[in-house]
Amino acid sequence: MSSQAIREELCKYAQKTVTNKLVVGPGGNISARFEGKMYLSPSGFALDEIKPEQWVEVDIETGHITDIGLRPSSEVLMHLYAYRQNPNIGAMVHTHPPYCIAFTLVEKDLPIMFPDQAALVGKTVYVDYVLPTTDKLADAVVAKIEHASILLGNHGLVTTGRNLREAYYRTEVVEESAKIFLIATAIKEPKVLTKEEFEEIASLESEAYRIELLQKMK
């Protein structure tokens, strides 16, 4: 793996967020960690417009930004704090998926309904609306960063993973889960997995299950 390979992988997943309508216009931001640096989407670009050399390199420890004439995403602090807080995080995907945003308006954690959701993502927690681009939002996200998926009230979704692929697919799974939850809600209160059912899945050979699922999603 090289920083060039990371930059190309970022372009690939950035493209997917737009193709799959997880963001519109210049919304959302994505980053990945590589050798003490994070590579973050530049401010003001639609994610599918970014060229490999345009991802902004930021030193995770010092916050120093390598000057390439582009500003990093306005959510730079949210990404930076997350990498500092949890050394296992290799990538962060922040999007504005419509069903997730609709679900944040009810101001609660997203229930776990499906085995894939339980195994791939785990609990999706909710944080109240905070003014975007501020250190308050970065602090609110980092306070819940032990969860791989965080709903931002009246705003969007943040997912993390050991790598970009994992962080990105978590976004897709959470959006699909929110969509199905909202469809079911139109009929009656949806049946969700019980704590016991969720723990049973978690106690399966969960790592193997997760890898198998990710391979299927290629």
Q: Least separation, in Å, of the C-beta of 170 and Zn ion?
A: 16
Nearer to Zn ion (CB atom), residue 89 or residue 150: 150
Is there a contact between 51 and 24 (Cβ–Cβ < 8 Å)? no
Nearer to Zn ion (CB atom), residue 7 or residue 79: 79
Q: Residues 6 or more apart from 94 whose CB is under 8 A from it?
A: 28, 29, 30, 75, 78, 79, 156, 157, 158
The reply on whether position 122 binds Zn ion by CB under 5 A is: no
Which DSSP category does 42 fall into?
B
The reply on whether position 97 binds Zn ion by CB under 5 A is: no
- Residue 30 has phi, psi (to 5 degrees) of -135, 145
Q: Which of 156, 160, 164, 198 binds Zn ion (CB under 5 A)?
A: 156
CA distance 7 to 210: 25
CA distance 190 to 184: 6
Nearer to Zn ion (CB atom), residue 10 or residue 112: 10
CA distance 143 to 92: 15
Q: Least separation, in Å, of the C-beta of 175 and Zn ion?
A: 14
The reply on whether position 72 binds Zn ion by CB under 5 A is: no
Q: Least separation, in Å, of the C-beta of 155 and Zn ion?
A: 6
Active site residues: 75
Nearer to Zn ion (CB atom), residue 41 or residue 177: 41
Look at phi and psi of residue 178 and say left if phi exceeds 0, alpha if psi is from -120 to 50, else beta: alpha
Stretch that binds Zn ion, among 33-41, 149-157, 158-166, 170-178 (CB under 5 A): 149-157
Q: Which residues bind Zn ion (CB under 5 A)?
A: 156
